[in-house]
Chain A
Amino acid sequence: NAGVTQTPKFRVLKTGQSMTLLCAQDMNHEYMYWYRQDPGMGLRLIHYSVGEGTTAKGEVPDGYNVSRLKKQNFLLGLESAAPSQTSVYFCASSYGRGGTEAFFGQGTRLTVV
């Protein structure tokens, strides 16, 4: 039972570099989410998707792009990384919206130097 898998687990980027974080779920969930969590803080929603081919902005979308070409995958892209994007990124999926149980990945720790 894989659930939600995030790749990679750790990454160090130089300012201005780009990268893509991959989230994969095997539960056939329609909804997928990307969050960031800064030290000692709660989770903030970056982008979300309500189905294959759809994406929408969350609370803190600036500097990030996403794509949902396949139902099971949700990609988060950083086109030009900045030190302010140093954070832990969590992906989640659920079968429905706000009142449904969400399943989270193990997180990706990103450091931008």
Chain B
Amino acid sequence: LAKTTQPISMDSYEGQEVNITCSHNNIATNDYITWYQQFPSQGPRFIIQGYKTKVTNEVASLFIPADRKSSTLSLPRVSLSDTAVYYCLVGSPHTHNAGNMLTFGGGTRLMVKP
């Protein structure tokens, strides 16, 4: 059973803000929400992580509502170089069981057009 659900693909234009939403209805109390970015022919790289409310770094913002059943990755003013696949993961650094591994779904393929 997939732990997260995201759109398969999204298109945008340079300079626009892009919001990618991830559903995680069964998120556990100790779970964090983590987003990764993957460029073609490269391994994924961590971009942002949060537990609740809002987190912002130099790359993106992450919005998490109070019920934590979804989250939204926001990329401000995208450029062509933001074309990539974005993965949403949930998991806990504190839960020691086999089900709490780094499980990637299909991700969201973002295409930024000129």
Interfacial residues, chain A to chain B (CB-CB below 8 A): 4, 33, 35, 41-45, 48, 56, 58-59, 88, 90, 92, 94, 96-107
User: In the complex, which of the residues B36, B85, B101 contacts A98, with contact meaning CB atoms closer than 8 Å?
Assistant: B101
In the complex, what residue of chain B is closest to A98 when comparing beta carbons? B91
Given known A42-B87, A105-B43, contact A97–B103 (CB-CB < 8 A): no
Q: Which residues of B have CB within 8 Å of A90? A: 43-44
CB distance from A12 to the nearest CB of B (A): 17
User: In the complex, which of the residues B46, B90, B105 contacts A42, with contact meaning CB atoms closer than 8 Å?
Assistant: B105
Q: Would you call A45 and B43 a contact (CB within 8 A)?
A: no
Q: 24 A-B Cβ contacts within 8 A?
A: A33-B101, A42-B106, A43-B44, A44-B104, A45-B101, A92-B43, A94-B102, A96-B93, A97-B91, A97-B93, A97-B96, A97-B101, A98-B31, A98-B32, A98-B89, A98-B92, A98-B93, A99-B30, A99-B32, A99-B34, A99-B90, A99-B92, A102-B102, A104-B42
What are the nearest 4 A-B pairs in CB distance? A98-B91, A104-B43, A99-B32, A96-B93
Interface size class of B (residues with CB under 8 A): 20 to 34
Q: Would you call A101 and B46 a contact (CB within 8 A)?
A: yes
Interfacial residues, chain B to chain A (CB-CB below 8 A): 30-32, 34, 36, 41-46, 49, 85, 87, 89-96, 98, 100-107
Q: Would you call A102 and B42 a contact (CB within 8 A)?
A: no
User: In the complex, which of the residues B43, B85, B93 contacts A99, with contact meaning CB atoms closer than 8 Å?
Assistant: B93
In the complex, what residue of chain B is closest to A56 when comparing beta carbons? B98
